[in-house]
Structure 1
């Protein structure tokens, strides 16, 4: 858009500073118009008989599309307020300011005028009740000059609601120019986002005598009634803008002029001059405009400082890595962009983070308010693997009560630290070695086993049946035990098959103990219970023989009182659960029939009754 006279820039980080084209939206004032702040002009004070105009020094080209955005404030005086503002396109560099009912724009030749009228002067001025707008030719603000599309010949309300616009508020205005063809162009007015009027004609030929270079102005007037009427720049900051220190900026004065002279050391004689700003500056360009009038445009540049950041090298232990930090020279809020080595995860927009990947880490910080970026800063991460401390002097086992010296505070491989708890020669204990805080080493745990003299006991073994095998287990306690039985065998248990005395000696590094058992010959029979209670309480839930370990072969059958066989089995260790085909049987008396041989091959048949209790 031609009327975008403010800073357009693309910034590249590293040491490439922004290259900027800057257009100043500079106005010259007439009458009572004054600049009241960097972007606001007072067109008229709230006094009667006042007229003011501002004209933009930068021409626009009617052979191109363009949009002009601004804000207007029509004051707060409704009942006694007047008269309003006008937007003017004219090929006159310095339009004549006219007081009275014409909003300061009456009678300007070769022009298009868009009114923002807040006063009703009656039909002769093509006015309607309410604040209104219309598009007029050559400063003729009457029905004869109305060139709006639609054919009614009347203006329209500024808002479709026809609400009062003398409300002290700032209202958005957009003027759009569309170059449809060499013989047709359209100008449109949007007020507070609503399209209010258009005019489509060969304006270039009819209004501007085929001259495509025009200037735009905003004017206003008051009469007997008055209002504080104001204009505000929207598309840029008038001619006040900020850059990053070191930026290269191209300043643009109005085109179509001559005799350009720039301050600030530039030797340019055209309407453009390029500068590099490191400090706040004011640049002026004097020239003769399109109409031969001497003009000056001023540019006020704020050179914002570029932030400075540093990143210190760090040595990283893999067990507890310290953060890698970007430290701005001036504290504040910044955006951070990191470049990390291959294999590392980019942390994103953060000031610090931890990493175990060695290499160079580079950061650029940007001030989010000014957009200015630092030079890149690099810090190196050096990683060190953790060391496993080695202590060869600490015993794995000791005998209870023997000397257990204090543990060394430096490992065989040079790691210093502390131990806890204190050495204990009475109980097996796990000890923890904690490396010193500045040492990259693992925590070490060492268990010292405290051995007792072994204990062993065979006193529970008294008898043995003919053919029975008894496993003699001394239930020895202690560490690193060895066994020696009476026949020289060294297994932890011994299988006894005959009566006699059996002896075992259990030993370890702390001593030995001997235990013995004398097995007498015994008669071993089975026992058959007379009742059982299958109620799933874990006690006597099955009907089965006792002494099953004395049986070599076995079969058992269970019958009810009508002779029906309910159960059969050949495993003496398994019994009947009181069910038949999944159904619980009634409480009462049942018959068993058992055949078996004992360990020496003697066969027996046993039958009888038992009771199922519920």
Structure 2
């Protein structure tokens, strides 16, 4: 005899008795009570006084023919508690489940927990069983397949072990259905389960939402708040580590915390919350004041980390601004404070804004006009500070990058020197004029003995000459010295060695201020 034939014999023998018991159970339905959303199960211990195919009071067959155990279909295992329990099988073409119509339906968007005991029979009605399995379903019609609310993993233990199912609903269900399920692991073999000792209630589990706030880096400023959406108040809270007992905990450092919320019905929900660290970092850039002493410096911050919005202070936290930009600053050291949306603080201390060195004219060397009929006065300007290169200006006229401004007539001049940022320094000078005829004069002797007097043989130019050349020759006509700068003369040496006293020949050529090409020659005496 196979399992379906065994089930049909049970069904014929007990048909009328089942009908009577069903009426009796329905007549008692008004006696069951519900505590908040804790839904009471009828006959949770699955007890029946008669070992037969008739299911325990409060339970019905949902598919095929579940068995009251022990003693049916070769099952001899003792109950976990009491006298009876339920055995069920499943295969690709055979399914046994039991159902109970709930006094109060499972409600939508709730979480419930129920406990029970399960075992696995390796053989059921002379058929090998691949493994045990168990599922809980919800349905609103007995003709429905039912929606799976919870599934066990594969059950491989033959002794009774406790299980707790926690499941959530998306809609209301008035039928509570349980039984083994099939999957592809066992292929064509049977799966079976032995079920005993439900908890008296399906208890509503608190539904909790935890909101966390990170700690500031290296501090204990984190916090967490747990809010209960559903469950049976009042609630008890337990946080680990820390053993806190409130719904809100503060002064937390970085780490992972576990919170368990237990309702008045004893049902508990646990979740974990991670407290991170808000680490503020700042990329700080600056622009220096353009000129020395200006107040147009800038500090700009690029912030990452933390929680926006950010606030920025440059006066030690006395005042804050929303923008990460500080303008109109002079050079100096600044302490900057950044505060995020959780009041985490980042300090950037001693941030330095530099500025150019002050521009200063260290010398203004004026050269007089050399004779009465030319304009060859000049000013040599020596400048420090600012940002080179410099541009030189005399009396409002730019003269470019040459620090020697020439071609000036006698008179009073205002000069101004600009750096590349258009910063400037200015001053005044006077160009004098030598009221004499324009000419080039050559001395006839010099004494290069290092006494600081008449040590150099050079031309005395009292004219605006161009294309100047002075050459000195030895007694055999060899070239000893040559200069194309009127200000550069001969020191009485050749290739670094002093020449002996005696007579030497010189030749000077130039173009004078009247554009005449002039040549002068003569002898000089070198005195030792």
TM-score w.r.t. structure 1 length?
0.28
Query: Which structure is richer in relative contact order (CA contacts within 8 A, separation 6 or more)?
Result: 1
